[in-house]
Each structure stands twice: as structure tokens, then as C-alpha cells.
């Protein structure tokens, strides 16, 4: 059970990173994160979509409607240049914290099994 602050803190890095692989849409992003965390993080629509919209408002993402084969249109998001800059910043910050913590924890902790 991953606590809410961690979930909240990780939304932005997750979204930016996934979108750096290429354009994507909301539902797929949620499924991807679910898979990556082994089911521990499963975002609701209220969690993700407002974040996507917020990042779009700030200019880190841009969106496009595509008509998928077989029905209604779907909104796809992709990183902008500004978004890429933000991503590397997130990465840097996250890794800084991570490396500091790693110095404290024994190598054994890294692989609990």
C-alpha cells in the first residue's frame, strides 16, 4: 500500500516519463502505471485527468484529438520542448533524493528477497 503523498509526488514524473516514450492517452497511461507498479498504484480519473489538463495549461504538454478506428474520438497527449525540460528536472531531483537514500541503505535492502 503506497501512501498518498508518494502517489501524489510521483504522478508528474510518471506522466512525463511515459509521454517521453511517445504520445499517449489517459486510459492507457493508467494501465501502464498499474502494470509498472504491480497494481500498487492505480489512478482514478479524478487523479489523472486534472493533472494532464494542468500540465497542458502550463505548456508542458499539448493535446490532439484523434479519431480512432471504430468510434468516438480520443484525446492524445505529447511532450513539448518545455515538457522535456521539466522531465529532466524531475529526473534530476528524484535521482538526487534516491542516491542520498541509497547511501544510507545497505545493498542488501535493495533486494529484499
| Residues within the interface to other proteins (CB under 8 A) | 25-28, 31, 44-47, 49-50, 53-54, 56-58, 71-75
Residue placing its CB nearer to other proteins in the complex, 57 or 111: 57
Contacts of 8 (CB under 8 A, 6+ apart): none
Q: How far is the CB of 110 from other proteins (least distance, A)?
A: 33
Q: How far is the CB of 108 from other proteins (least distance, A)?
A: 38
How long, in residues, is the chain?
Answer: 113
CA distance 48 to 31: 12
Q: How far is the CB of 53 from other proteins (least distance, A)?
A: 5
CA distance 7 to 17: 15
Q: How far is the CB of 112 from other proteins (least distance, A)?
A: 30
Residue placing its CB nearer to other proteins in the complex, 25 or 94: 25
Residue placing its CB nearer to other proteins in the complex, 73 or 95: 73
Cα atoms found within 13 Å of the Cα of residue 79, Cβ hemisphere only: 19
CA distance 93 to 12: 12
Amino acid at each position: 500500500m503506497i501512501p498518498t503523498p508518494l502517489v501524489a509526488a510521483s504522478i508528474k514524473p510518471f506522466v512525463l516519463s511515459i509521454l517521453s516514450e511517445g504520445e499517449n492517452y489517459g486510459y492507457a497511461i493508467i494501465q501502464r502505471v498499474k502494470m509498472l507498479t504491480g497494481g500498487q498504484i492505480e489512478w482514478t480519473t479524478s487523479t489523472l485527468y486534472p493533472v494532464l489538463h494542468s500540465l497542458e495549461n502550463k505548456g508542458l504538454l499539448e493535446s490532439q484529438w484523434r479519431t480512432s478506428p471504430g468510434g468516438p474520438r480520443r484525446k492524445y497527449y505529447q511532450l513539448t520542448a518545455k515538457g522535456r525540460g521539466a522531465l529532466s528536472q524531475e529526473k534530476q531531483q528524484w535521482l538526487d533524493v534516491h542516491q542520498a537514500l541509497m547511501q544510507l541503505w545497505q545493498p542488501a535492502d535493495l533486494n529484499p528477497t
